[in-house]
Amino acid sequence: MVLATNLGFPRIGPMRELKKAVEAYWKGKSSIQDLMQVGADLRAKNWKLQQEAGLDHIPSNDFSFYDQILDMTTTLGLIPSRYDWDGEFASVDLSFAMARGAQKDGVDVTAMEMTKWYDTNYHYIVPEFEEGMVPKLSHTKIFQEFEQAKELGILTRPVLIGPATYVFLGKPHYEGFKHEEFVKSLIPVYNEILAGLAQRGCEWVQIDEPVFSLDLCPIGQGVIKTAYEKLEKPEGLKVLVTTYFESLKDNAELAFDLPVDGIHIDLCRGSGRANTTANDADKDVEQALSLIGDEKVLSLGVVDGRNIWKNDIADSLAKVEKAVQKLGRERVFIAGSCSLLHTPVDLNSEEMLDDELKGWMAYATQKLDEIAVIAKGANAGRENIAAALSASNAAQESRKASARIHDKAVEERITGISDEMKERKSPFAERQQVQHAALNIPLYPTTTIGSFPQTKEIRTARSAFKKGEIDEAAYKDAMHSEIKAVVDFQHECDLDILVHGEPERNDMVEYFGEQLSGFAFSKYGWVQSYGSRCVKPPIIFGDVSRPTPMTVEWSTYAQEQTEKIMKGMLTGPITILQWSFVRDDQPRNDTARQIALAIRDEVEDLEAAGIKMIQIDEAAFREGLPLRRDDWKEYLDNAVENFRLSSCVVADETQIHTHMCYSEFNDVIDSIGAMDADVISIECSRSQMELLEAFVNYKYPNEIGPGVYDIHSPRVPDAQEMVDLLEKAKVNLDERQIWVNPDCGLKTRAWPETKEALKNMVSAAKQMREKSKAVKAA
């Protein structure tokens, strides 16, 4: 029988119950027992939901209070030495300290680095490998959750991050690190886990190896072979290795040769992130069938785990039927393309979306039903799912025919794009002189990335306005009051370049999408970004345009409150694209160009309103990079073109900024240079300025703000710590290039820590100026 299976389910809860519980615990408003109970309740609810949907394999250990990679780190006992771990049980509190930083005996302990999970907007905590580390089983979470489900009458399929993936996600902190030797040291712990699960009655284990989505060098291939040659499967326990986010391509033989019982392949590949077509997926099925052999199970990821559009059941079933014809029903699983972690929980919760749009969509809960119905069709025949097939076909046709999708004016404007629209009037060297003269920018200019803390009062006012409980005048008064308070504080701490604080914005992408045509918005479409941070991606369903200005009123009001320069704050086309659920009926770059033109209109209006600096955030620029190098050039060329299309409409005197966060920049530094922003700010503090090396080696000519403190941690670094980081930056950069700013926006931080940190940051910049003066005087 073809089995209906699932690789993972959203852990946050339909109403973000996990976020609320974790943050209450961090604030000391609840106990560890309260937090554990919320986790247990959410897991039980998720398991029962999947059981009721008719799934045959339900995952466990896909739940985490912060991040699944961090959980794997604590399970393996690979705790960095700065946390003074006693070598016994790795607690949840220890995990939180590793993720967020902590204080121990009055000394700050920095958080571990965080970065993007492959090409998604989920962030994981990067493992750190120190010399002398000895892996040992240090957390029994995987056993506890398996047993919890078993007590509920549900035999789950526990999920492990694969040893090869884990090793390549980590960062060695010593010379002479060898991946193959290190993975050997991990396998005894994996074997202990497998043995423990077998003793508890487990039948299948899922080992996630998304490393197969990458270009694997001989070292990478060797690490995988070594890991699985040494993996010991207890009798009666079967292992499914899951690959996702990309087609296997040249890694297919390696995957299907592994001594395991099943292989999962992603047949959606992130809804067009790599220009996927139905033909590509058919080729992937054919490749798998040619290599699967006579015993292994083939798990087909036909339901998209990274987007919210309804599955084309007839098309998915055709792929499944091809596999069944060759392998028989006993050797085929149906699944999502990857974990459903990247989709919202339940479409039935939505009240804001109209029936036509909802008729085209499926959240994680609905995707369970799609998996189950495809499996039923494969087992019982199409005639036994006739109603589901008819509804699916009707949804596909309705979407194609809807007048809401296509806008002739947008199509005509796209055709009119010229090369001149993507070029600044003068090269950077000339612009820099003009800007410094016109804007009077000091050495080590201080600024922030845009957002300031969002208080309960701000959120209440926004919510009341949306609900119609206050009128527009009262809403504007509330926002103006907050903007003035933010500007006054920036005067108080003597920042050089000010921002308005973005009190009117619930999210840096959602805010813009709400004002662009072709977008729709959910009420409960939350997905996890990192830890307790959840985002609600906009839904791009049709052609995009900007009916009216989106930020000009707020920026001009803020500029009226100060004689200093006020930065206009926008989100760039690639980030809007990457952090949205994107229509899958046209190439992604077509949608990106439409967004770029809309942002261009806003840039032009901000400049006309007297805003002299405009920041166009491209936080997701690196995130969108395809996982295979063969696809990089097309993506990067398009991304650069779209940034330039949105920004190259201003005079030389107007300074264009951009911001990128939590990425490895070496792979894309040429393209970052080609974007030709006057100033770029980047995350650097967690990596102790390591991420700056790409810009140094490239000899990046424009100006750069390496973040000097980590806004994702509540700890407040002192001025000297920031001076030390700026000194590191100054070793390889001309001081005229260096800006001083936090790593990212301050929206998620509290006011007290924000005020203290920014005052320290300004003090650090002033100290650097004094040092510069002293050197020049000498």
Active site residues: 712
Of 269, 196, 192, 205, the C-alpha closest to 232 is 192
> How many CA atoms does the CB half-sphere of 702 hold within 13 Å?
22
DSSP class of residue 212 equals: G
Asked if residues 612 and 438 have their Cβ atoms less than 8 Å apart, the reply is: yes
* Angle at the Cα of 536 from the Cα atoms of 533 and 539, rounded to 5 degrees: 155
Neighbours of 440 (CB within 10 A): 11
Residue 102's H or E segment, with its range, is: strand 102-104
Asked if residues 709 and 717 have their Cβ atoms less than 8 Å apart, the reply is: yes
* Token digits of residue 734: 């001309």
List Cβ<8 Å contacts ≥24 apart for 176-185.
177/129, 179/219, 179/220, 179/223, 180/219, 180/222, 180/223, 180/226, 182/129, 183/223, 183/226, 183/227, 184/226, 184/227, 184/230, 185/134, 185/135
Report the distance separating Cα 708 and Cα 729, nearest Å.
Answer: 10
Asked if residues 635 and 593 have their Cβ atoms less than 8 Å apart, the reply is: no
The dihedral sign for the CA sequence 222, 227, 229, 230: positive
- Tokens 């290599």 belong to residue: 291
DSSP class of residue 603 equals: H
* Token digits of residue 726: 């700026």
DSSP class of residue 349 equals: G
Asked if residues 559 and 566 have their Cβ atoms less than 8 Å apart, the reply is: yes
Report the distance separating Cα 718 and Cα 521, nearest Å.
Answer: 41
Instruction: Return the bridge partners of 679, or none.
Output: 657, 703
Report the distance separating Cα 728 and Cα 171, nearest Å.
Answer: 21
3-state secondary structure (DSSP) of residue 95: helix
Instruction: Return the bridge partners of 263, or none.
Output: 241, 298
Asked if residues 213 and 246 have their Cβ atoms less than 8 Å apart, the reply is: yes
Report the distance separating Cα 379 and Cα 329, nearest Å.
Answer: 7
Instruction: Return the bridge partners of 103, or none.
Output: 108
